[in-house]
Homo-oligomer: A and B are copies of this chain.
Amino acid sequence: MAKGRSTANDGLRNQIEFFLLTNFPWFWAFVQSNDWLKRQVNKFLINSAIYKAKTRPYPLSTLTDYTSWDSLIDRTYSGRHLPPVNIDPGKLRSIDEIADHLFFRKGDTILSEKSTLLFPYFAQWFTDGFLRTSRDNNLKNTSNHDIDLSPLYGLNRQITEVLRSGKGGKLKSQFINDEEYLPYYFQDGVVKEEFKTINIYTPPELDQEKRDKIFAVGNERGNVQIGYVMMNTLFLREHNRICDVLAENYSTWKDEDDRLFQTARNIVIVLLIKIVIEEYINHIAPYHFKFIADPRSFTNEKWYRQNWMTLEFNLLYRWHSAVPNTVRLDGQDLPFTQTLWNNALLIDRGLGRWFEAASLQPAGRIGMLNTPEFLLETDKRSLQMGRDARLASYNDYREMCKFPRVTDFDQITENEIVQQELKHLYGDVDKIEFYVGLFAEDARENSAVGSLIGRLVGIDAFSQALTNPLLAENIFNETTFSPVGFEIIQTTQCLSDVLHRNIPKSDKNFKVTMTQVKA
């Protein structure tokens, strides 16, 4: 059926880069066998990714169409890579029509050939820490623009205080079946006194049984689905475990709740960044070379500037299509919607079994015609957001990212239905909206996302993860993390490492992977 995508406008340089990085496994194995060489190549490749676009500070935010002092300092507005454009909204097809024709998954889940369900589970939770669209104004971002693990710790000190136990540096928690979980938010149907000052959202129609098991946590929507709760539970356990390790090793800190808390948090944030780069980004990229979190390589780079999440980054991360219709659990297929606001599912089975279940089934494929019905409204809001921000076109963003502009629909995707719908809805490739173009593009071989998404992730993710203050030259050291904490950082690479030290002791080794294991 498919006659293949035309590669006429992929760009020669891009093709060569891609070819080199996805072939010659013996060469890349050699590069990675030498620590010095690995670091040099790592630095070169990460810099190449970031320097594909202009670096921060950006001249514009979503606040004004021209540069103003406020647009340069007020980070409650999203950053933006390209200036706004003027398009007559009357000439655009309706958002409903676009969502229905291009995004809506009408039948079964189109499955990813690369990613497991653990991948979108992690992605949603992780990005929710810094891509927090304001509900009052979709051009604003309510986050701190940093990887600060705010889904667990909360956005500010007031929330964090409520979640701390005040003893030994630990977060409040409870034990059920010998496993540690977040504390419940409600008691006897009402919010517990201690949590009155934080707001945890629960759908009004939620039944009493599920409501009783809602957890108190940093993010107001932290109970939304089981993957979100898994990640918060895992990092809660790691935080509290590290507190014990620190207290054992540094006896003078025993009664210093705050010092233990702060040091544990410093360590846990860096563990997350390590996993993001060494497991998550390496899963997304199709390369043989595996990136490493090597903060000291980048001290002198001009991209090393204060973080500012862009609206484009916020949109490209909306991987609704990665959400499958069903979740396979204990040999049964559960509708995905039953895993929403349903913490009993986790508590009844324990954390290890859930991580393994998520690692043994495919995610949905990120792309067109694959958004489950319950997320279609969110796609519509995303399209609206792009229009409210008057974003430049898909082709303009390709150009910004050093891809040639596409000149025909068949250069975007090999899927003829999508080609036809794009033609029908836009008429001209130059008119395709950013959000649509992002997800219409076919992923290249062994890549989890399309080319433009991949490139923009490279730009924004690397340049905003490696700038975390905890990784800075005078901070990334044993003074900040303690010697034992620094050792924990050096020896952790992936979620599996963290999981297996935070579940009840047994012989069981759970499978934990974002990449499907081929038979």
**Would you call A380 an interface residue if the criterion is a C-beta within 8 Å of the partner chain's C-beta atoms?**
no
**Would you call A157 an interface residue if the criterion is a C-beta within 8 Å of the partner chain's C-beta atoms?**
yes
In the complex, the answer to whether A64 meets B262 with C-beta atoms within 8 Å is: yes
In the complex, the answer to whether A262 meets B69 with C-beta atoms within 8 Å is: yes
Residues of B within 8 A of A305 (CB): 304-306, 472
A61, chain B: closest CB distance, angstroms: 11
Q: Give the bracket for the number of chain A residues in contact with chain B.
A: 35 or more
In the complex, the answer to whether B66 meets A157 with C-beta atoms within 8 Å is: no
**Would you call A518 an interface residue if the criterion is a C-beta within 8 Å of the partner chain's C-beta atoms?**
no
User: Known interface pairs A73-B144, A146-B73, A304-B302. Does A263 touch B58 (Cβ–Cβ under 8 Å)?
Assistant: no
Residues of B within 8 A of A306 (CB): 305-306
Residues of B within 8 A of A144 (CB): 73
Residues of B within 8 A of A58 (CB): 474
In the complex, the answer to whether A469 meets B266 with C-beta atoms within 8 Å is: no
Residues of B within 8 A of A258 (CB): 64, 68
A472, chain B: closest CB distance, angstroms: 5
**Would you call A94 an interface residue if the criterion is a C-beta within 8 Å of the partner chain's C-beta atoms?**
no
In the complex, the answer to whether A475 meets B64 with C-beta atoms within 8 Å is: no
Q: Mark A446-480, 1 if CB is under 8 A from B, else 0.
A: 00000000000000000000000110111100011
**Would you call A59 an interface residue if the criterion is a C-beta within 8 Å of the partner chain's C-beta atoms?**
yes
List which A63-96 residues lie within 8 A (CB) of chain B. 64, 66-74
Residues of B within 8 A of A469 (CB): 57, 72-73
**Would you call A54 an interface residue if the criterion is a C-beta within 8 Å of the partner chain's C-beta atoms?**
yes
**Would you call A509 an interface residue if the criterion is a C-beta within 8 Å of the partner chain's C-beta atoms?**
no
Residues of B within 8 A of A304 (CB): 302, 304-305
In the complex, the answer to whether A157 meets B472 with C-beta atoms within 8 Å is: no
Which among B66, B70, B72, B265 is the interface contact of A470 at CB below 8 angstroms? Answer: B72
List which A466-519 residues lie within 8 A (CB) of chain B. 469-470, 472-475, 479-480
In the complex, the answer to whether A479 meets B59 with C-beta atoms within 8 Å is: yes
Residues of B within 8 A of A266 (CB): 67-69
In the complex, the answer to whether B262 meets A66 with C-beta atoms within 8 Å is: yes
**Would you call A337 an interface residue if the criterion is a C-beta within 8 Å of the partner chain's C-beta atoms?**
no
A75, chain B: closest CB distance, angstroms: 11
User: Known interface pairs A57-B469, A300-B300, A302-B304. Does A265 touch B69 (Cβ–Cβ under 8 Å)?
Assistant: yes
In the complex, the answer to whether A474 meets B259 with C-beta atoms within 8 Å is: no
Nearest to A66 among chain B residues (CB) is B259
Q: How far is the CA of A150 from the CA of B416 in the complex (A)?
A: 58
A171, chain B: closest CB distance, angstroms: 14
In the complex, the answer to whether B146 meets A475 with C-beta atoms within 8 Å is: no
User: Known interface pairs A54-B474, A302-B473. Does A66 touch B263 (Cβ–Cβ under 8 Å)?
Assistant: yes
Closest 5 CB pairs between A and B?
A68-B262, A72-B469, A67-B480, A306-B306, A299-B302
User: What are 30 residue pairs bridging A and B, where the CB atoms are less than 8 Å apart in the complex?
Assistant: A54-B473, A54-B474, A55-B474, A57-B469, A57-B472, A58-B474, A59-B475, A64-B262, A66-B259, A66-B262, A66-B263, A67-B262, A67-B266, A67-B475, A67-B480, A68-B258, A68-B262, A68-B266, A69-B262, A69-B470, A70-B157, A72-B469, A73-B144, A73-B469, A74-B157, A300-B301, A302-B473, A305-B306, A305-B472, A306-B306
